Structure 1
Amino acid sequence: MISNNAVPSQSDDFESIESHTTAPGAGAYLPPSDDRHRKAAIQYGKLVAEVRSLPGFESFMRSKKLSALLPSSICFSGPVVFINVDRDRCDALIILPEGTITALSLSELSLDKAEALRSQWLLYLKQQHVRERSLATQITRSSSGSPPVRILDRLWRWIVGPVLSALGMDVINAARERLPHITWCPIGPLTQLPLHAAGIYEDDAGPRVYNLVVSSYTPSLSALTRSLDDLAKHSATPHILVVTQPDTPGLPPLPGTTVEGLRLRDVFQSSEAPSTALDGEHATISAVKHVLGEYSWLHLACHGSQDVNDPLKSAFALYDGPLSLSDLMATTADNAELAFLSACQTAVGDEKIPEESMHLAAGMLAVGYKGVVATMWSIRDDDAPLVVETYYRKLLELRALGMLEKGETGAAYALHEATKRLREEVGESDVVRWAPFVHFGI
């Protein structure tokens, strides 16, 4: 819509014409009897052309060019890979840090194959009873030829392997001081599959993506660019708010969140990082909203819920009710930087609408956080404390040693270290335990 303050005459005309018609697509059929509609459509086209002739409105109602979607002052920390899945063909569009873009045909992948993988993966998760963060449950370890091993094998062969090969990242480079960073932006059914865990697990010496790169995700290019540009404007000194909810009324208990909170207290005290903890009955909606604007980092250890009909109503379960994304949007600090969502399924959208990135992690990026750690499926209550403690210790260490490059928060590398520690603890075959944790943004 045109601002009334910018061009009042065109704005009034535009609203008048829009009340009679919407912009028709090229070649749209209009019945001969619909003269008023046709006349309005012609006026609409002329008005759009007139607006585009005005200084500053050259791109009015046009798709943005790639240059307009890239960060204005900071390069990406590594390649950004968009995985496009369509009936006709599947491709990876790779944007390199300097802004150049290349297309890679994924000839082994198809939409039918992607949908089949998603269905198989969701069935496997359902069989593992990992739909909510919970106490320890019986989980079947993955063996050679088991469903998760086959799925991760295909993710490697059809998608991740070809992309890393094209980037020259498919072999371990001992000369590198650290692993390269890559950001994945899948669409459709691939949004619910763990690209960051792809590999040939039937071969002990086979490739595993986590040995080659540090993986992050983004719901869109604009979300990633916005995070980078905002990080450049707000250099945040970490002030951390920790919210733990071990016994939310009406929901299953999460005693591990108490352990989580105690470990975080020790981590932050030893590093002298300023923090505040709200636990149990003290973690109410009003209490969190009252102080949230003072903290650049937010850690939420609780149950979470997603509302696919109204994403702003997706929420975290506090002691006296849900803290929604709309609540966070109104109270989040201007210099908000990192959020850790130690809740259930915070990085997976609706199974019925896999094309949409409608989940809590994407929502937290939208309300202003630059980087978000979330989970693609639910985690075990006793795994979270280990991951959380390792993550924050590594994150604070990276910052204290000045090991971050421009445009980095350190969250991706810290989570990589934390999931490595959990993988070593539970074994590589327990994919469902070490692989749910993912990083979004920067």
Structure 2
Amino acid sequence: MYLNSAREMVVMIDVIAQIARGEHAQRTGRADEARAWFARAIDASLRPGAVPHLLPLALVSAQRLDEAREALDAAHDSGKISDQAAATLYVRAKAFERAHAALDRATAWTEWRDPLMRAGIDLERGNVNDAKAAVSAAIAMFEAEARLLLRDPDRLDACDQPDVAKLYATLAMVQLAKGDVDGSFNSAERARSFSFDTLIQVNPVISQWWQRAAAQYSAISNTIVDQLPTAAPDRTAGLFAKLDAADADLAAAERAVDAASPGLLLRRSAPGHLRGAADIQDMLAEGTLLLEYLAVGDDLLMWAVTRDVLRPIVRELRSNELAVLVRDFQITCTAGRASNTALSLLLVNPVEDLLRTHNRLVIVPFGALTAVPFHALRLDGLPLMLTHVVSYLPRAEAYRPDVGVSTARPLIVGDPEFDATLRPDLNRLPGAQVEAAAIGALLEASDILLGAEATKAAVTARLEACNILHLSTHGHLDELSPFASSLVLAGQGDLSVADIAGLRFGTDLAVLSGCDTGRGEATLGGDVIGLTRSLLRSGVSQAVVSLWPVDDEVAPIVMYRFYQELAVGTPPASALATAQRAIFTLTPDDMHVAYHKLGGTPASEGTKRRRGLNLPPELRDDEVIPQPLSGDAERYWAPFMVVG
């Protein structure tokens, strides 16, 4: 008996591991890799000792739905799979009548996923009222659980699952089916409220301590999950010792918060009052179009919002297909010029009438769409950047009308002299130093940290006093431990997400002109953990960040033109659009001349560099640039975006 149980466990772990790898590849647009992992999972599920539900699970994951339904029918009809498990798999296999019958025979609801599954089945079968009752019950159960999660890492983990986003997407679909467009938009906003909450309003020192401790705890725990399978025993012991220390520090910070304001953490964990659709419409400036997205399962939901219009749009598109479109678009952008017909048809064409009458565009993306430079999508054959001013928000409630920012107190950091023995994969960035020096001269800045002066201590000591922070350096995106993502500084230092979470900023605008500073790890619930999120949560009003590796000689030209606009009072989003339009018109020779005028010496084509490290091969930095491109290549003008 024990031998059989052990065999079943080994096979189950093998199948589940292959499926998990396949799903991760699928979410990130690696379709061929995903198919290979799913094929391995299917093969493993056919081995002796495999429990009956593994084969239909593997087939469903691979989207081989006909085969999945056949295998599921055989296993369920013979009593080898419980009604509850069968109902779950039937839903994924889109056999909704069989799912309904199995669920009717199952036991009472034990967790919020049970009524959520019922709601999905009822909605597919046209029973809208029953679906609303079930999804409302599911949300009540989930939010009751979420109120007990006082720690930010725990809340993120709870939201890092597709069923959480599916809760609110299902409610939105039910509301749309009942004609409640306002309610559907409000549900999309509520889905974002759990993972992007407000700052703790207590003593700033305590608040910063709590935020830093929570981020550090999450960074270490994610590192353990990543390294545990291959780490040596002594390394494992050291990691767990660090985790214990981080846990103790976080617990102490929580006690300090509770002492300063008893019950605050518990009150904070409950969702607060959210602005409704009508409130958002009243806030929008004339000529502004806000597009909010929610992509869950095979449904892509969009809301187009102006002062006078609230238009819902629903498209059916498999999530893996969307991820592939996004990945292909970004890869072709980084390589030179993108072919984005499919994404433009999907994301732009449904609202082209509104785009023609509104030239200010605000994007609230979700999940895979956070990696899309919407300003590079095309309308009438032209990128939106040429005709619209585009910015991005984590949620619609964060919208504020455009205003200029003061350039009176900038802190400018460029080309930190990092320890080359610790970072042998990096090269110094002459363009970053040119960029920082040129911007410093333009703004008559007194705080310019270059080379060896750009240490972590020097930077963090000045953050509270500056109203603009400009960091021109390498960036590091850690997709497995996003709280460990960082910006490289001088010596052995870096500025990580965990560090930023514990800092106090007096900053209206942060400009991170390094590589990949705008990307982060999209949780399964659609949130994005990264440098941008941490900056906004730490008090920065707006951030300029990049979606892919930035060419070291082009970034200074973009940034200098951007700051020229800021200096005369142009709001950041409009300033960036002007800079991007200027780059768009340049030839390769024009860019050489512009870089030289800023004080740089143009490198030969074989020695040009891009900023960043530890990237996927197709986005890898510090590579040889293949050929000179004109400024209209998305590679040059499109990576930067304004968030906030």
Corresponding residue for residue 161 of structure 1: 349
CA deviations on 1:248-305 (whole Å, 9 max, x unpaired) are 2233111101110221122113xxxx54101111111111111111101100000112
Q: Distance in 1 between matches of 2:581 and 2:564?
A: 14
Corresponding residue for residue 244 of structure 1: 414
Shift of 1:190: 1.8
SS in 2 for 1:323: strand
Structure 2 residue aligned with 1:373, among 514, 531, 544? Answer: 544
**2:583·2:631 contact (CA, 8 Å) conserved in 1?**
no
Corresponding residue for residue 436 of structure 1: 639
Shift of 1:348: 1.5
Cα gap change, 1:361 to 1:275, in 2 (>3 Å): farther
Structure 2 residue aligned with 1:188, among 337, 361, 367? Answer: 367
Shift of 1:62: 5.8
Shift of 1:124: 3.7
Q: Distance in 2 between matches of 1:256 and 1:354?
A: 38
**Alignment partner of 1:394 is 2:565:** yes
**Alignment partner of 1:121 is 2:329:** yes
Q: Distance in 2 between matches of 1:72 and 1:79?
A: 10
Cα gap change, 1:88 to 1:353, in 2 (>3 Å): closer
**2:416·2:452 contact (CA, 8 Å) conserved in 1?**
no
What TM-score results when the alignment is normalised by the length of structure 1?
A: 0.67
**1:292·1:332 contact (CA, 8 Å) conserved in 2?**
yes
Q: Distance in 2 between matches of 1:384 and 1:416?
A: 14
Q: Distance in 1 between matches of 2:479 and 2:418?
A: 23
Letter in 2 for 1:94: A
What TM-score results when the alignment is normalised by the length of structure 2?
A: 0.47
Shift of 1:88: 4.3
**Alignment partner of 1:170 is 2:170:** no
Corresponding residue for residue 215 of structure 1: 390
SS in 1 for 2:529: coil
Letter in 1 for 2:495: L
Structure 1 residue aligned with 2:460, among 278, 289, 309? Answer: 289
Q: Distance in 2 between matches of 1:276 and 1:297?
A: 11
Corresponding residue for residue 425 of structure 1: 586
**1:89·1:110 contact (CA, 8 Å) conserved in 2?**
yes
**Alignment partner of 1:327 is 2:414:** no
Structure 2 residue aligned with 1:25, among 107, 112, 133? Answer: 112
Shift of 1:217: 1.0
Give runs of ≥4 in structure 1 deviating > 6 Å: 26-29, 57-60
Cα gap change, 1:244 to 1:60, in 2 (>3 Å): closer
Question: Does 1 or 2 have the higher relative contact order (CA < 8 Å, sep 6+)?
Answer: 1
Q: Distance in 1 between matches of 2:458 and 2:383?
A: 44
Aligned residues: 342
Structure 2 residue aligned with 1:301, among 459, 466, 472? Answer: 472
Corresponding residue for residue 18 of structure 1: none
Q: Distance in 1 between matches of 2:524 and 2:298?
A: 20
Shift of 1:110: 5.1
Corresponding residue for residue 67 of structure 1: 276
Q: Distance in 2 between matches of 1:286 and 1:60?
A: 33
Cα gap change, 1:328 to 1:66, in 2 (>3 Å): same
Letter in 2 for 1:391: F
Shift of 1:105: 1.8
SS in 2 for 1:365: helix
**Alignment partner of 1:86 is 2:274:** no
Q: Distance in 1 between matches of 2:437 and 2:328?
A: 38
Q: Distance in 2 between matches of 1:160 and 1:28?
A: 35
Q: Distance in 2 between matches of 1:422 and 1:328?
A: 31
CA deviations on 1:92-139 (whole Å, 9 max, x unpaired) are 11333x5x762332548553441220232355467x3xxxxxxxxxxx
CA deviations on 1:319-352 (whole Å, 9 max, x unpaired) are 0211123333444334x20011011101122378
Q: Distance in 2 between matches of 1:59 and 1:221?
A: 20
Shift of 1:207: 3.8
Percent sequence identity is: 24
Q: Distance in 1 between matches of 2:271 and 2:277?
A: 12
**Alignment partner of 1:263 is 2:438:** yes
Instruction: Give 5+ residue unaligned stretches, structure 1.
Output: 1-22, 30-40, 49-56, 129-140, 143-147, 172-178, 405-409
Letter in 2 for 1:91: L
Cα gap change, 1:294 to 1:192, in 2 (>3 Å): same
SS in 2 for 1:119: helix
Structure 1 residue aligned with 2:574, among 413, 420, 439? Answer: 413
Cα gap change, 1:242 to 1:69, in 2 (>3 Å): farther
**2:292·2:302 contact (CA, 8 Å) conserved in 1?**
yes
Instruction: Give 5+ residue unaligned stretches, structure 2.
Output: 1-109, 117-139, 148-265, 588-629
Shift of 1:365: 1.4
**2:302·2:314 contact (CA, 8 Å) conserved in 1?**
yes
Cα gap change, 1:27 to 1:83, in 2 (>3 Å): closer
Corresponding residue for residue 347 of structure 1: 518
Cα gap change, 1:210 to 1:61, in 2 (>3 Å): same
Q: Distance in 1 between matches of 2:361 and 2:427?
A: 36
Bigger mean CA offset, 61-70 vs 376-385: 61-70
Q: Distance in 2 between matches of 1:236 and 1:428?
A: 29
Cα gap change, 1:26 to 1:355, in 2 (>3 Å): closer
Q: Distance in 2 between matches of 1:212 and 1:108?
A: 29
Q: Distance in 2 between matches of 1:87 and 1:119?
A: 18
Letter in 1 for 2:384: V
**Which structure's residues are more often helix, by fraction?**
2
Corresponding residue for residue 46 of structure 2: none
Q: Distance in 2 between matches of 1:294 and 1:262?
A: 20
SS in 2 for 1:432: helix
Corresponding residue for residue 105 of structure 1: 313
Q: Distance in 2 between matches of 1:365 and 1:63?
A: 19
SS in 1 for 2:344: helix
Q: Distance in 2 between matches of 1:391 and 1:76?
A: 23
SS in 2 for 1:332: coil
CA deviations on 1:336-378 (whole Å, 9 max, x unpaired) are 2001101110112237869331222222212111111111101
Q: Distance in 2 between matches of 1:302 and 1:237?
A: 21
